[in-house]
Structure 1
Amino acid sequence: MKIAVVGAGYVGLVTGVCLADFGHEVVCIDKDEGRIAALRRGEVPIFEPGLVELVKSNVEGGRLSFASALGPAVAAADVVFIAVGTPSRRGDGHADLTHVHAAAREIAGAVSGFTVVATKSTAPVGTGDEVARIIGTVNPGADVAVVSNPEFLREGAAIEDFKRPDRIVIGTDDDRARQVMTEVYRPLYLNQAPLLFTDRRTAELTKYAANAFLAMKITFINEIADLCEATGANVQEVARGIGLDNRIGAKFLHAGPGYGGSCFPKDTTALVKIGQDFGSPMRLVETTIAINDQRKRAMARKVIAACGGDVRGRTIGVLGLTFKPNTDDMREAPSLDIIRGLQDRGARIVAFDPQGMTAASALLEDVRFAENAYDVAVGADAVVLITEWNEFRSLDLARLKTLMAAPLFVDLRNVYRPHEMRRQGFNYVSIGRSGAGQGDLASDAAE
């Protein structure tokens, strides 16, 4: 099939590359000519494991190309995916659909023959209706079926998620579109990925509901972690105890400094706004957002408390800046609030992240970026682990301790075993495992 993907950002690029890898002929389109030129040179503007290799192999195979002009690719396409950004709108928190609407207008002027226009961008209920209206207004003769096909990709595992999805949600009431979308995802039949066909509005809401539920799950275990610290229980054992219940499941039950990234913050906020628009308040989601915002600031206070209540003039080493491992994404990363909170109290910050320092340097002031984890520790009065990159999971603790001014290690991801840290001579602080509850279970891999 011939496929055009409008938007070569995170979702669009992963979508286009994976569809090309299925054997489809794909053109990724973006107005940013610098980005398109870089992609044509084989330079991928985002960090995602395995993406560079897939881009290279599919370009060489003639299945993937890049363009800044929309017209020719859309005219030839059987399916056009809209995968442009929908950030929170400045001032009110609604999803900003400016780019979606602009894409719809351009697509309307370029389509030829029956074309499925599938919205990949996370967009509020009713967006598909508006896209269909725009196309019909701009080009009344267009033979187009507008479909909602939300993405469920985890940064750092997006290729795996695309190729081995839990489900593929497709919102349409058009039989022709259903047949076309079935053919698009036919290569996934071997993986037995279920195609869930529903109406367009249900598909749109499913994406928001999924992200909001996961955000609530993270926030719930973070509150349980606080209770564990107060009572002497162990949050990791509590999480395991409830996660073994199939009705709950173990994923997203890892206590930490709060959620961040490009999806959960903006999607939970957008869902609250959707609820307000339709007179159906999302009170659990509202509370989740408030608790998560407070938690990030509370983590700075936790570090300060571990330092005896005063960090003025002290050097704090930070391990991990991105909101999660295996990405260079700094959007809404907990590290930003934690570092600023420490700086407000007079701390000097030295930080290292395997992929996020370039983006972080544009967001943080007065931070010295280190060359590696051990450089962070040199002269540090405390080391704080914020993002659980694999290379931080097996540090040479003896070496780390000799480099530090004081052996204080604050582990906001519960990567290390308390008894081992004590044996190595560290003053060790973690999440939800205080006092007698500081058990010996190492953390599972983060979601």
Structure 2
Amino acid sequence: MINNAQPPIYEEGLEELMQELKGKYHATNDYRWAILNSDITFITVGTPSKPDGSIDLTHVKQAAKSIGKALRDKEDYHVVVVKSTVLPGTTEEVVKPILEKHSGKKAFKDFGLAMNPEFLREGVALKDFLNPDRIVLGVQDEKTKKILEELYEPINAPKLIVDIKTAEMIKYASNAFLATKISFANEIGNICKKLGIDSWKVFEGVGLDHRISPHFFKTGIGFGGSCFPKDVKALIKKAEEIGENPLILKAVIEVNERQPLKMIELLKKHIPELKGRKIGVLGLAFKPNTDDVRETRAYIIIKKLLEEGASVIAYDPKAMENFKRFYPDVSGGIEYATSPEDVLKSTEIILIVTEWPDFEELDYSGKIVIDGRRIKAAERTARIYEGVCW
């Protein structure tokens, strides 16, 4: 698909860019060919959570082994960069020994090794890559440092050069703090809801403080995706392994896990018995402008609705096929609509789970709407409207 300029995921602007640059990139599953015909290799494989929350390095280890074998045949200096999110110490204590064992070479002497965390947001990843807040390079040897500085020279952004462990930790600290802001906002939002206060106005005022900033203070049903949940859990597990008890991080996860169920609580204020009721769910992706459903709040909500005996009709502009594939345990109980209008025609009860722009164009007249993402059109037109934290 990549070689035919077809993106395997949905990301705004990606298909157009792939078409424009077709012929300037090549995808292959041949490690040896790739490494012998390049100067730098980035390891960008997934690092999912194990059941206990710790990081699963299976894919990182497999990649390092294959790269090491290919490096054995390479005469020129080659730089290996870990871009996957890994806990401090992983690059030097896990990746480095594997590369050295299978290549027969020494890191920082015969080949370069570095850590370069990524901070891209799904949905605006292309924009973020070309206009980053910062570029962090974790390096040890001068030759690797110069090569990576030359690589990133065209991108105008602050470049922070640190040691490898520090670079690894910067990624975790960044994600953990952003996740903390979301859970903190939702804790305050839950209080505001009971006091009849609009939490979005509260955080508009809070965000004007230059020490705080307004970003990631949108109250609602919590965070999902491939980064925040697994990274905070991995950091908790690592902290416990070294004898620390990260109370704040544990609270971040606890708040986030129960937050989506606030939608069900609010719905039951108006419809105490959900058994036999048909409920519309707008949005399945964990955020708009992506087809990613990993750790989506929609799964928790739909699972609870089905457990309560309700039937569900759902719509998402991009994520329905992925949701069917990732969550077969609930997908069989869902009717998938061809448009958001079909959802509104099918039921008077609507839950808004993802803030797709399409949902702002709808007329929610006559509907009971429980809104997890602050869709103004629903707030304006619904017969009964409940915002999760406002």
- Specify every segment of 5 or more residues in structure 1 that has no aligned partner in the other structure, as ranges: 1-37, 434-447
Q: Which amino acid aligns with 2:149?
A: T
- Structure 1 residue 290 and structure 2 residue 254: aligned? yes
Partner of 1:16: none
Per the TM alignment, residue 141 of structure 1 is displaced from its structure 2 partner at its CA by 2.8
Residue 348 (structure 2) pairs with residue 381 (structure 1): yes
Kept in 2, the 8 Å contact 1:86–1:97? The answer is yes
Distance between the aligned counterparts of 2:378 and 2:33, measured in 1?
60
Tell me how far apart the structure 1 counterparts of residues 189 and 10 of structure 2 sit (CA, whole Å).
Answer: 31
Deviation at 1:419, TM superposition (A): 6.9
How far off is 1:417 after superposition? Answer: 6.5
1:67 equivalenced with 2:28 (yes/no)? yes
Structure 1 counterpart of 2:43, one-letter code:
I
Aligned position for 1:321: 284
CA distance in 2, matches of 1:295, 1:179: 46
Q: Aligned match of 1:54 in 2, 8, 17?
A: 17
Q: CA deviation at 1:278?
A: 2.1
User: C-alpha displacement at 1:134, in angstroms?
Assistant: 1.5
Give the letter for the 2:146 counterpart: Q
Deviation, structure 1 residue 305: 2.5
Tell me whether 1:361 sits opposite 2:324 in the alignment. Answer: yes
Contact 2:65 2:99 in 1 (8 A): yes
Query: Is there any run of 5+ residues in structure 2 with no aligned partner, and where?
Result: none
1:283-432 matches, cutoff 5 A: 283-307=247-271, 309-362=272-325, 363=327, 364-395=331-362, 397=363, 400-401=364-365, 407-416=367-376, 420-421=380-381, 426-432=383-389
For the residue of structure 2 that corresponds to 1:64, the secondary structure is coil
Alpha carbons 1:108, 1:139 under 8 Å: kept: yes
- Contact 1:306/1:429, CA 8 A, preserved across alignment: no
Change (3 A) 1:306 1:74: farther
Which residue of 1 is the match for residue 214 of structure 2? 250
Q: 1:4 maps to which residue?
A: none
Query: After TM superposition, which residue ranges in structure 1, 4 or more long, deviate above 4 angstroms?
Result: none
Structure 1 range deviating more: 244-253 or 127-136 = 127-136
List aligned pairs for 1:136-147, cutoff 5 A: 136-142=100-106, 143-147=110-114
Give 1:44's aligned residue. Answer: 7
Give the aligned partner of residue 77 of structure 1: 38
CA contact 2:370–2:385 (8 Å) conserved in 1? yes
Name the aligned partner's letter for residue 382 of structure 1: I
Q: Is the aligned partner of 1:115 residue 2:82?
A: no
Deviates more, 1:218-227 or 1:291-300: 291-300
TM-score (norm 2): 0.94
Report the Cα offset of residue 58 of structure 1. 1.6
Query: What SS class does the counterpart of residue 65 from structure 1 fall into?
Result: coil
**Conservation of the 8 A alpha-carbon contact between 1:296 and 1:337:** yes
**Helix, strand or coil for the counterpart of 2:239?**
helix
- 1:418 and 1:233 map into 2 onto residues whose CA distance is 19
| CA displacement, residues 11-30 of structure 1 (integer Å, 9 cap, x when unaligned) | xxxxxxxxxxxxxxxxxxxx
Q: Distance in 1 between matches of 2:207 and 2:241?
A: 35
How far does residue 234 in structure 1 lie from its aligned partner after superposition? 1.0
1:295, distance to aligned residue in structure 2 (A): 1.4
Identity across matched positions, percent:
38
Letter in 1 for 2:265: R
Residue 180 of structure 1, aligned match among 134, 140, 147: 147
Q: Contact between 2:361 and 2:377, CA under 8 Å: does it hold in 1?
A: no
What CA distance in whole angstroms lies between the structure 1 residues aligned with 2:198 and 2:301?
Answer: 24
1: CA distance, partners of 2:287 / 2:379 = 26
For these two proteins, the number of residue pairs brought into alignment is 379
What's 1:99 paired with? 59
Q: Distance in 1 between matches of 2:67 and 2:324?
A: 37
Q: For residues 110 and 96 of structure 1, what CA distance do their matches in structure 2 show?
A: 24
Q: Equivalent residues in 2 for 1:182-221 (5 A)? A: 182-189=149-156, 193-221=157-185
- The answer to whether 1:276 aligns with 2:240 is yes
